[in-house]
Chains A and B, each alone.
Chain A
Amino acid sequence: AQKITQTQPGMFVQEKEAVTLDCTYDTSDQSYGLFWYKQPSSGEMIFLIYQGSYDEQNATEGRYSLNFQKARKSANLVISASQLGDSAMYFCAMREGARSNYQLIWGAGTKLIIKP
């Protein structure tokens, strides 16, 4: 079974609009962490935002926020006021607390294209 599911293979969004990228996860651990990364066409992997399973507030980092709904096991990334430079692949990832190897489990990614 997929541990991280990103249901949107690709999205087109008009510049300056807000964007929500979906991510659902599956774990039986009580302690886990959720991450979002951005991968531009140049290939590097850029850390965006982190949410811990025990964090009561939704994480925010500048224009990025994470809509964490624990009961639904979803961790959607919201980008406010999108910019052309936001065009990239976006990956959701999870680190489970019970695993001792610090491994990140990755979703398949969403390709976001911002239209001018």
Chain B
Amino acid sequence: EAQVTQNPRYLITVTGKKLTVTCSQNMNHEYMSWYRQDPGLGLRQIYYSMNVEVTDKGDVPEGYKVSRKEKRNFPLILESPSPNQTSLYFCASSRDRVGGYTFGSGTRLTVV
């Protein structure tokens, strides 16, 4: 089954404790992206990647890092999480410019 897999689905952590949210797609898509969703603000792009070793900042990259060492994986790293990073996070992938975007199931992160 073609899918984007995110883990974990839910995470509660403490301020300053490094964490990684994993994202993997099995569709051989070149493009991958991370979004965060906050009430009243909609979805905002954090980082994106056009291909292996090619990543760039989206609209809200502060406090996040990403890497794209393999085509299928695009982990999101929070080096020192803060409470304002409490949000619902989505990973998405797309075959190309005109294709639809497939989203992962989301990761609900709470930073206390």
Contacts and interface: CB of A to CB of B under 8 A. Distances in A.
- 10 closest residue pairs by CB, A with B: A45-B103, A106-B42, A106-B43, A43-B106, A44-B105, A47-B100, A102-B31, A103-B45, A108-B42, A101-B48
Interface of B: 31, 33, 35, 40, 42-45, 48, 50, 56, 58-59, 88, 90, 92, 94, 97-98, 100-106, 108
Nearest to A6: B42
A45 B3 CA distance: 12
Contacts of B43: 91, 93, 104, 106
Contacts, number: 56
A73 to B, nearest CB: 19
A102 B90 contact: no
A30 B94 CA distance: 21
B97 A102 contact: yes
B48 A103 contact: yes
A47 B56 contact: no
Contact of A45 (B31, B33, B45, B106): B106
A103 B106 contact: no
Please classify how large the interface on chain A is, using the bins under 10, 10 to 19, 20 to 34, 35 or more.
Answer: 20 to 34
A35 B101 contact: yes
Nearest to A101: B48
Given A43-B106, A43-B108, A102-B50, 4 more contacts: A44-B103, A44-B106, A45-B106, A91-B43
A95 B95 CA distance: 14
A47 B105 contact: no
Nearest to B96: A102
A106 B41 CA distance: 9
A17 B43 CA distance: 29
A43 B39 CA distance: 13
B107 to A, nearest CB: 9
A91 B101 CA distance: 13
A35 B94 CA distance: 13
Contact of A102 (B40, B48, B103, B104): B48
Contact of B100 (A50, A107, A109): A50
Contacts of B48: 101-103
